[in-house]
Chains A and B, each alone.
Chain A
Amino acid sequence: KQEVTQIPAALSVPEGENLVLNCSFTDSAIYNLQWFRQDPGKGLTSLLLIQSSQREQTSGRLNASLDKSSGRSTLYIAASQPGDSATYLCAVRLISGGYNKLIFGAGTRLAVHP
């Protein structure tokens, strides 16, 4: 059974710091891995999607890496800003019976203070 773990559960940093959020999964047979952002009281917004054959993806100040064999992914946030404050969710996509489903981690709650 696939399990996704995110560390740390919560993080509070001053503005400007570079951050690393960690995600690990127990079964390396994933189709892809996705990082989402969730703002309080809102839905999820997709940040980055890494296919199982890829090692990393970048978007602006965000960089996500994937080491499928070791079951790990990291989300790197450069020069953090207060607007980055949110919960960051990691999810792996499994293919089962020809259809796919996402398995989510519990998230990392990030607070960036001025």
Chain B
Amino acid sequence: DTAVSQTPKYLVTQMGNDKSIKCEQNLGHDTMYWYKQDSKKFLKIMFSYNNKELIINETVPNRFSPKSPDKAHLNLHINSLELGDSAVYFCASSQESPPVTQYFGPGTRLLVL
């Protein structure tokens, strides 16, 4: 069984479009995260949700809006896509207390043309 899954795996779209990436975890964790890995392979946290509540929101443009319908799901919606949004987006989950390892999804490769 896949612990953390993301869909789609690849996403190619035009500038200005709106797109969503979905993430689901079946580990029973209470915290989920979105990370962005840019072309230089630097992985940076974007958002963190604990029990459906936003707890970390790094300096991310407000075109990015995470939504957590329940503890097992954290979706990322991106409005008005820009060229610079092209990256790999990783979802992860963990148990918050005590903080232990995070489990990562396979990534969604987004290319904005």
Closest to B90 in A: A43
**9-residue interface stretch from B62-70, B72-80, B96-104:** B96-104
- Given A36, A42, A45, A100, which contacts B99 in the complex, CB threshold below 8 Å? A100
**Residues of B close to A95: CB separation below 8 A:** 99
| CB proximity to A under 8 Å, residues B1-53 | 4, 31, 33, 40-45, 48, 50
Task: Name A's B-contacting residues (CB within 8 A).
Answer: 31-32, 34, 36, 41-46, 49, 87, 89, 91, 93, 95-97, 99-104, 106-107
Interface size class, chain B: 20 to 34
B105 touches A43 (CB 8 A): yes
- Given A31, A87, A104, which contacts B44 in the complex, CB threshold below 8 Å? A104
A93 touches B99 (CB 8 A): yes
Closest to A99 in B: B55
Shortest distance from the beta carbon of B6 to any chain A beta carbon, whole Å:
8
Shortest distance from the beta carbon of B34 to any chain A beta carbon, whole Å:
12
B106 touches A43 (CB 8 A): yes
Report the Cα distance A91→B90, complex, angstroms: 15
**Residues of A close to B104: CB separation below 8 A:** 36, 43-45
**Residues of A close to B109: CB separation below 8 A:** 41
Closest to A94 in B: B99
- Given A43, A99, A103, which contacts B50 in the complex, CB threshold below 8 Å? A99
Can you list 20 A-B pairs with a CB-CB distance of less than 8 A? A32-B99, A34-B101, A36-B104, A43-B4, A43-B106, A44-B92, A46-B103, A49-B100, A49-B101, A91-B43, A96-B56, A97-B55, A99-B31, A99-B50, A101-B33, A101-B48, A101-B56, A102-B45, A103-B45, A106-B40
Shortest distance from the beta carbon of A89 to any chain B beta carbon, whole Å:
7
A99-B50, A99-B55, A99-B96 given; A46·B41 CB < 8 A: no
